[in-house]
Structure 1
């Protein structure tokens, strides 16, 4: 059995080498120049366009893109063995995901901070833009629904004391009994942490953007608040029901969507990302210590098989395309283009930050996916993994147990390590959800502009705020269609994976057309675009036909949404292909 440290070192080295070379090569096409003003400085409005320090923007971007995907995706993909998942995470992250994120950000930069949908309008015309907007709204509404369900579930979560390495006499966690099983309430700890950071967010935002406090001091303050909220949660956990948390989160999302980005979302992400950075450091440290034990067994070796392609294909679906869309954000995520061109580009103060943030944040996320893959595959025999992952809340519990056993190598008690694992994934969930709703608001406003025309430039501030509030209500309403339909998270995840990769494929297609129309090289986006278009459409067809059709009464919403997505995608590809062909012909005539 292969040593876990070797698995991480090999993957990490390849990712690091790629980050130091590949983006510098392909970014030359976009000709970054730090002397030019960025959209954040040119259109500064102290609401959406807010130029910020690179570290603050990276924190917002990483916290927003690194949701549940790089944790849950690799865990599910272990059904195919750790080898195929490892290969796709590394190759996909370098040549697909990071290229997708960086190129979308650069194109948005060149188009004045416009979203990828608006870039599609300028590149593919109104028809291409409307097709893209409708597709984006369906997929992001599913993303919002699944993250809302998972966030509400996680914030009131309870797990068997035995699985957390605790006895009935423990005093670390509050407990409740379900079905005769005593469970420790972990969600209350995260609840306290979320409340503390949300209350502190406006203060931190004021320090960053009104008092211009140095980044180092802000880092320190954010770290103290973030860690302090977690510690306080152990002593003062707040317990709410899942239904109460669902509606509480909806109220929070309503305000976070239209209030200035510097007031809630950005500082909250900056605080929460300190906890997430700490979680990644713990995963790295645990991997090093466990791997250095070098005994070839136990916690130092990969216990899940290298390959289970045949068995996994029978259990989850064919390795292609299902494994590729299951890993999701660990390799490529279309959602990232919405963040990159929706909120991140409006905060970037230097053009070169598009390369640093766009490419490197995705590489960091792929590295996180590798750490998760290794932690679970090395700490759990396959039989235990299979038992645990199939239970309700099994994805999160599998990660928690893997973290607990890995962190035990650092001298952290198993119970506390497992709790920390759950807090890590809960942190990723909530920071993605608020940004996602804000992005949905942008998409609603863009679709409205296409259908009803652009609002007058001289619109009063009160009318502008009213328009944002109405768009927010529409965004929340679209999310609630999927929240209120009888879909469990495990039914939504494959749809999310296929739809998410479809957005990535169409984003790469849009960028490719944009480059070709300007006579620039586009091979680095065209190749992954072609691969992902075929993969995403094949996956969506398989999921709708094989997984949902047999339970049509309970899956009717997803079946209809899947059918609409397929039609929109086909139409978009036809429009993009015609535009590409026209651009190539013009280029050929010019030479």
Structure 2
């Protein structure tokens, strides 16, 4: 099939999904534009603060759109084009976007509390303990995997000869490795990231303290993004990956501690300019590929012994490998941890919640078509799944971006590839800071439940509650690479989505509302991800990776305990109190 036609059909299906199913779910939930939100009723200027819709969508989208929809589909294409495409398109409409919007809505109706706190109110302290422990563990896995992935991206390089760069050129800085000049792609992205981070507090001050207009903030953010890339071209920063992990740990500690308007909101808004440009460029590149006559260059199905040996069986491992491209439990944490505290009107819930998740799936589709249309399947297999040595999924994405923009829009290959690595870095950084901040929220909630109003003074300190998850993350990031964490992250991430949908189902039953759109995805995702997690326990143990094997076993036990508690609710309180599809009381 023609690449441009396939991309257009995919976008059309997602749009129909929002207009028909997304709006229907919003009506069933009971979205009310006249109801005040916690951002107004509990305003404190630190965590609870109403955000302008455009700024909020940028913050939420950049926070949820991480490496998952880039690395996940890149790895999963080993199974062939059709299984990955079907799961991304149908999975997001029926499960992923419903999960995000429902979690956001429930959190707002519960006063901006996290989904873990909602679990405590609906399923009691036992259900809360299981959910909170599982969610916090996932936060550590997400941040550790993405911190290591960020370090890999920021230190990446590639032979200059493949880009057709002449030795006489003076624009790009090169470094000789093994007798061959390499372009320091990651070094450029490193400088860009630092410049955008330093610019963030200034934009935050202008918007939230000087009340500057959204258009002025947008103009400054766009100018800052361009400036950061230009500075990176001339002064690429080269550091050891372990040094980068240490710097990242220091950054996320600060981001978790200081007011949200000082770093996270403006940093996300600065970075989202590149993210939006990346999406538009990749979509335009895919259309350009179609106009140039390029077709999908990948087998529809590739369920071979080699694919099974590398990734696992199609079910359940396709679903946990694609990860955030179709559904993500981490989104529920972000939606209820930070986003719900900033929504100024309930009418923004469908756009931010359902629409934000659809936008992430657009990113996943862009990755898929960039690989099968721009890079080509043979090149993809050579880079991502080499016969010998370690594959490099981030590099495969960056080169796929470069080839897509080169073949579709005639942009020089080197600049398209640089854009790809900067795009990936942006998605990574804006997720780890938000996830680390909501880790602090989860810890603070746990102390309140454990001690009530008598929380020890030391554990009341924001700095201490920010430091605890950072220390745990650093220990895992320094000892395990992202390739070893990814299967465990994928399984636990999807399972958290299932557990969130279970909480949503219980909440909807208690509120006497339609619930089948939540319970059916919950059952499917629970069965799929528990199977994947159990297999991960066995395979990590067989590989003598006892730390990750024990971690997976712990997560599995917490998940099973939570599900048992939920079944007990339906078997006791729910018996005779509700009928299929709609609760009644």
SS in 2 for 1:176: strand
| 2:511 is the alignment partner of 1:518 | yes
Question: In structure 2, what is the equivalent of residue 227 of structure 1?
Answer: 226
> What TM-score does the superposition give when structure 1 sets the normalisation length?
0.94
Question: In structure 2, what is the equivalent of residue 543 of structure 1?
Answer: 536
Question: In structure 2, what is the equivalent of residue 427 of structure 1?
Answer: 426
Deviation at 1:332? 0.1
Question: In structure 2, what is the equivalent of residue 325 of structure 1?
Answer: 320
Question: In structure 2, what is the equivalent of residue 376 of structure 1?
Answer: 371
Deviation by residue 1:176-231 (Cα, 9 ceiling, x = unmatched): 34445542111221122112111111111111112222212211111111122112
8 Å CA contact 1:258–1:465 kept in 2: the answer is: no
| 2:370 is the alignment partner of 1:386 | no
Distance 1:545 1:242 in 2: 30
CA RMSD across the alignment:
1.8
Q: 66-75 or 248-257: which moved more?
A: 248-257
Give the counterpart of 1:507 among 500, 505, 510.
500
8 Å CA contact 1:517–1:583 kept in 2: the answer is: no
SS in 2 for 1:114: coil
Question: In structure 2, what is the equivalent of residue 404 of structure 1?
Answer: 402
Distance 1:494 1:189, change over 3 A: same
Question: In structure 2, what is the equivalent of residue 282 of structure 1?
Answer: 281
| 2:203 is the alignment partner of 1:204 | yes
Distance 1:578 1:329 in 2: 30
8 Å CA contact 1:163–1:401 kept in 2: the answer is: no
Give the counterpart of 1:570 among 550, 560, 578.
560
SS in 2 for 1:183: strand
In the TM superposition, what are the counterparts of 1:21-100 in structure 2 within 5 Å?
21-100=20-99
Deviation at 1:304? 1.4
Give the counterpart of 2:330 among 324, 332, 335.
335
| 2:470 is the alignment partner of 1:476 | yes
Deviation at 1:171? 3.6
Unaligned runs of 5+ in 1: 295-299
Deviation by residue 1:139-179 (Cα, 9 ceiling, x = unmatched): 11111101111112222222232444435554443233444
8 Å CA contact 1:201–1:268 kept in 2: the answer is: yes
Question: In structure 2, what is the equivalent of residue 237 of structure 1?
Answer: 236
| 2:526 is the alignment partner of 1:533 | yes
Q: 109-118 or 221-230: which moved more?
A: 221-230
Distance 1:582 1:160, change over 3 A: farther
Distance 1:116 1:163, change over 3 A: farther
Distance 1:563 1:465, change over 3 A: closer
Unaligned runs of 5+ in 2: none
Distance 2:140 2:468 in 1: 11
Distance 1:328 1:198 in 2: 27
Deviation at 1:501? 0.4
Question: In structure 2, what is the equivalent of residue 307 of structure 1?
Answer: 301
Distance 1:266 1:378, change over 3 A: same
Q: 97-106 or 438-447: which moved more?
A: 438-447
Deviation at 1:464? 9.2
Deviation at 1:379? 2.3
8 Å CA contact 1:516–1:583 kept in 2: the answer is: no
Distance 1:495 1:164 in 2: 36
Deviation by residue 1:478-524 (Cα, 9 ceiling, x = unmatched): 21231232x22211111110010011010001100111112211000
Distance 1:143 1:359 in 2: 22
Distance 1:8 1:433, change over 3 A: same
Q: 306-315 or 275-284: which moved more?
A: 306-315
Deviation at 1:572? 0.3
| 2:355 is the alignment partner of 1:365 | no
Distance 2:151 2:176 in 1: 20
8 Å CA contact 2:245–2:478 kept in 1: the answer is: no
Deviation at 1:238? 2.4
Distance 1:381 1:194, change over 3 A: closer
- Paired residue total: 576
Distance 2:376 2:287 in 1: 20
Distance 2:391 2:192 in 1: 21
8 Å CA contact 2:286–2:373 kept in 1: the answer is: no
Deviation at 1:241? 2.0
Deviation at 1:455? 5.0
8 Å CA contact 2:2–2:296 kept in 1: the answer is: yes
Question: In structure 2, what is the equivalent of residue 297 of structure 1?
Answer: none
Deviation at 1:321? 0.4
Distance 1:580 1:170, change over 3 A: farther
Question: In structure 1, what is the equivalent of residue 3 of structure 2?
Answer: 4
Distance 1:403 1:574, change over 3 A: same
SS in 2 for 1:35: coil
> What TM-score does the superposition give when structure 2 sets the normalisation length?
0.95
8 Å CA contact 1:130–1:450 kept in 2: the answer is: no
Distance 1:179 1:442 in 2: 48
